[in-house]
Structure 1
Amino acid sequence: MNLEVESRNIDMTPRWKTEIEERMATLQRGHDDIIHGRVTLTKNRHHKKLDNVAEALVLVTVPTRHTITSRKEDKTFEEAIRAAFDAVAIELRKYREKRADKVVRIEPLPQLRGVVSKVFPHLGYGFILKDGGGEVYFHKNAVKGIPFNDMEDGQEVIFESEPGEKGLHATIVQPPHALEV
């Protein structure tokens, strides 16, 4: 990670610089997603609020070119640094949680072929006679590419199946033309 530490209208003390470097290392600990960091300390000479003359600006950039920034003012630089880093830590945690929550679900493409042998529209299920023999149960929620009520006995389908409590059941059922897009 590239870290820039600078000050304006005041000389940077070794203590402030050490604290900034330690806090930046803490933000990075356990993750390798901060590619750039910049901290600027500014003494506000003509500030409206004479109480808060110390300002800390903390900026971090992550690989998606997303930038997290916090600017805090306080009575002392130590308090401003702490407040700015705490705010960045919260936003960085939210960013990391959001990135971690992204789950890509890919449904497998149906591989097996068969013919609908029985369909019970009023009950919401049916059976498929597999190529090579054997029946597979399917529920209306497994049907894709055609309305369940349009399913008919003798209709050719492709499907995916997995073992269930009472034998194989289809997890995806669709007409063969649904893949020909």
Structure 2
Amino acid sequence: MSNSAAGIFRRLNDAVYWTGAVVACVALVLVSAVIPWAVYTRYVLNSASSWPEPTAVLLTVGITFIGSANCYRQRIHMNMTVGTNLLPPLLRRASLFLSEILMGVIAIFMVIWGLRLVRTTWDNSVDEFPWLSVGITYLPIVVSGAMMLLFVIERLTIGPPPRDGADAHVPVE
């Protein structure tokens, strides 16, 4: 990949990453607003609202899937490195390559089967929100899988994103 193509691809992945971060953060703020409303209506008004709990669950699904894709890109997801750290350098690189390939397979699985799940459930509605398709609630699986696939391709072609301290929440090694 040429330097200019690599730069464009890196900027695309940066944009995907930051869009995902904004979406996950907004969803987290909304969950933080919805839950106190549920507590207020239940314990102060003595008349519980029916929508806050399913709303919080749907937002949490989005936070989890989109957030996990972003964590994967920055290697701040939960992982076990004890075994690979004990390997000689050549085997360590081979195991990292294999793990990227396996993550790519998982990402493709999420996109393909997630789309099938969305399509299958599209005509169903969420009980608490009759206007909301169940298929829409499964879209975070597809989006997360597509994000992870982009990030796997990024690592395999141009390397991981730089850890230069420009991203304040990513530890610099």
TM-score tier, shorter chain, comes to: under 0.3
TM-score of the pair, normalised by structure 1:
0.26
Q: Which has the larger radius of gyration?
A: 1
Higher relative contact order (CA 8 A, sep 6+): 2
TM-score (ref. length: structure 2): 0.27
Greater strand proportion: 1
More helix by share: 2
